[in-house]
């Protein structure tokens, strides 16, 4: 057990005060209600943040009424093999982009996990103004992934869908039973086959949660 963490790569962005978030959502802030340096027994912080801050997962109820919450996330979906695809799309990820990826690797099968590295990962974006033109999965590609019954999809910005059409992209994936993780730090990750551990907090009735996501090269 001494080397349980050997070769694991943390692809989780840190959460810090005023880090980049979704427009019109409150900024991240921390308050301390007790302080060791003031002679109190412990430092205790209160966190003020959206459930969709930084590296996070969406519950199906984020966009679909009466759908499961984030606490119902199946552990089996969050642990196991994952493919990282390096996609050079310019405007949005399309079925053609995914089929080109399949052609140079192998077909995507039902139950697989797929993380997508795009030009979003060319910089540390979490301390920069929100990028309304971030690259994401287009509606047609979301339908494509749902039809193939992918279990888990991950992206390298704050939403799986383009800013203008993000609800439609989410609903296509959610209605196809595809779980979603957003805000992955893939700056140092190459295309290939990995193992992943991807777990949200178990927050009952909530529509999302910050997540810790790890990779290990297979």
Is the pLDDT assigned to residue 1 strictly greater than 50? no
Burial of 38: CB neighbours in 10 Å, binned 0-12, 13-18, 19+: exposed
Is the pLDDT assigned to residue 2 strictly greater than 70? no
Q: How far apart are CA 22 and CA 166, in angstroms?
A: 12
Question: 30 - beta bridge partners?
Answer: 47
User: Which phi and psi angles does 74 have, rounded to 5°?
Assistant: -75, 130
Q: How far apart are CA 103 and CA 85, in angstroms?
A: 12
pTM: predicted TM-score of the whole model, two decimal places: 0.94
pLDDT for position 30: 94
List CB contacts of 3: < 8 A, sequence separation 6 or more: none
Summarised one tens digit per residue, pLDDT across range 65-124 is 999 999 999 999 999 999 999 999 988 999 999 999 999 999 999 999 999 999 999 999
126, 22 Cβ separation under 8 angstroms: no
Place of tokens 């999965």: 137
Q: How far apart are CA 99 and CA 96, in angstroms?
A: 5
List CB contacts of 103: < 8 A, sequence separation 6 or more: none
209, 200 Cβ separation under 8 angstroms: yes
Domain definitions of the chain by residue range: 56-217
Lowest mean pLDDT among 7-11, 34-38, 197-201: 34-38
Task: Round the average pLDDT of the chain to a whole number and report it.
Answer: 95
What average pLDDT does the segment 34-50 reach?
A: 87
Lowest mean pLDDT among 2-16, 90-104, 131-145: 2-16
Q: Which CATH architecture has domain 56-217?
A: 3-Layer(bba) Sandwich (3.50)
């Amino acid at each position: 057990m001494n080397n349980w963490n050997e070769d694991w790569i943390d692809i989780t962005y840190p959460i810090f005060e005023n880090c980049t978030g979704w427009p019109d959502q409150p900024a991240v802030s921390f308050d301390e209600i007790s302080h060791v340096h003031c002679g109190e027994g412990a430092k205790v912080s209160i966190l003020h943040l959206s459930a969709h801050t930084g590296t996070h997962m969406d519950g199906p109820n984020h966009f679909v009424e009466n759908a499961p919450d984030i606490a119902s996330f199946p552990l089996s979906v969050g642990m196991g093999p994952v493919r990282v695809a390096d996609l050079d799309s310019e405007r949005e990820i399309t079925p053609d982009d995914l089929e080109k990826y399949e052609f140079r690797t192998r077909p995507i099968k039902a139950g697989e996990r797929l993380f997508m590295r795009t030009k979003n990962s060319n910089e540390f974006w979490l301390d920069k103004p929100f990028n309304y033109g971030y690259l994401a999965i287009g509606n047609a590609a979301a339908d494509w992934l749902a039809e193939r019954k992918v279990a888990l999809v991950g992206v390298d910005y704050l939403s799986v869908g383009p800013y203008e059409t993000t609800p439609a992209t989410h609903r296509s994936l959610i209605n196809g039973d595809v779980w979603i993780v957003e805000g992955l730090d893939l700056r140092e990750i190459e295309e290939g086959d990995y193992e992943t551990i991807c777990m949200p907090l178990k927050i009952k009735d909530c529509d999302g949660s910050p997540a810790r996501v790890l990779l290990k090269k297979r």
